[in-house]
Copies of this chain bind each other. A is one copy, B any other.
Amino acid sequence: MKRLLTMNELTISEMEHILAEAEQFANGAVWRPQQQTMVANLFFEPSTRTKSSFEMAERKLGLEVIPFDAGASSVLKGETLYDTARTFESIGVKALVIRHEQDHYFEQLLGKQLNIPIVNAGDGCGHHPTQSLLDLLTIKQEFNTFKGLKIAIIGDITHSRVARSNAIALTRLGAKVVFSGPPEWFDENSGLGEYEAIDQAITTSDVVMLLRIQHERHDSSVETNDYLTQYGLTKEREQMMKPHAIIMHPAPINRGVEIDSELVECSRSRIFKQMQNGVFVRMAVLKNVLEQFEGGTLHENSHQKWSITQ
């Protein structure tokens, strides 16, 4: 695996390989590169969870993280993303983790002279593969299989990176995915799966996967006051869930909107478990791209004609 841009790039066996390695990391396995290895996390959008989770994964692998602050960077001076990435490669960074508000930002990095692996930590409303992988790990730890499971993804499907990546991956792995939430937020023609009314979705699913209402991406003003009652996970709806069914949410949570605040840490909730798993899948992903990226060594002296020291 030379990079991780979207879930679609991964074969099912690659997914399973990453999940297995993530599980090994969860159980205390240790992997470290043989040499001092620097990476950088280029986050062009606010993030606590994903950025900290990658940082933690990197430290646990013994990597050193070169800080990057988009707000104080040369991007302000009009530098292209490609030139920023090439800069980090030039100074000796061996992998880049990038979050960027632009869909498919990574396309401008491909097929050029950039020669280090990219791990996509979220592009616009597009993909967020490590979030999908941590969701998969959490589900697999719970049910030991994806086949035959029914997963309801509820909420802001149009603007959710997670919804898309997850729906596709879960379907490929044999699960049935349905969607619920405000009908106007669901595109019938997306081809991702069917829409179900909220009560039906919640009462019949093994996994109730809530999505965050992304206020910062919404133009239309959704009445968040009514959202919990109409489409959120109330205490009443939680009572209607199947006995073994679990609750997931990518966080950050809008308490009292997508979910009743008291349910956030209830026994069905795997919300903080998902965060724990995030570190382990990111360790696995970073291990794989660093290990297998043969072009990862910089040829520092490639242009050099003379050596100053004999």
Contacts and interface: CB of A to CB of B under 8 A. Distances in A.
A48 interface: yes
Taking the full assembly, how many copies of this chain does it contain?
3
Contact of A23 (B67, B272, B309): B309
A88 interface: yes
B90 A272 contact: yes
Interface string A293-310: 000001011011111110
Given A69-B69, A72-B71, A303-B270, A78 B215 contact: yes
Contact of A83 (B19, B72, B251, B300): B251
A66 interface: yes
A52 B66 contact: yes
A70 to B, nearest CB: 8
B309 A276 contact: no
A239 B26 CA distance: 58
Given A64-B59, A91-B279, A254 B78 contact: yes
Contacts of A298: 276
A74 B48 contact: yes
Contacts of A23: 307-309
Interface of A: 19-20, 23-24, 26-27, 36, 38, 40, 43, 46-49, 51-53, 55-56, 59-60, 64, 66-80, 83-84, 86-93, 112-113, 137, 140-144, 212, 214-216, 251-255, 264-265, 270, 272-273, 275-276, 278-279, 298, 300-301, 303-309
25 contacts: A20-B308, A46-B77, A47-B72, A47-B74, A48-B68, A48-B75, A48-B84, A48-B87, A52-B87, A55-B67, A71-B71, A76-B216, A83-B251, A83-B252, A83-B253, A83-B255, A91-B276, A91-B278, A113-B265, A137-B308, A140-B306, A141-B303, A141-B308, A273-B303, A276-B300
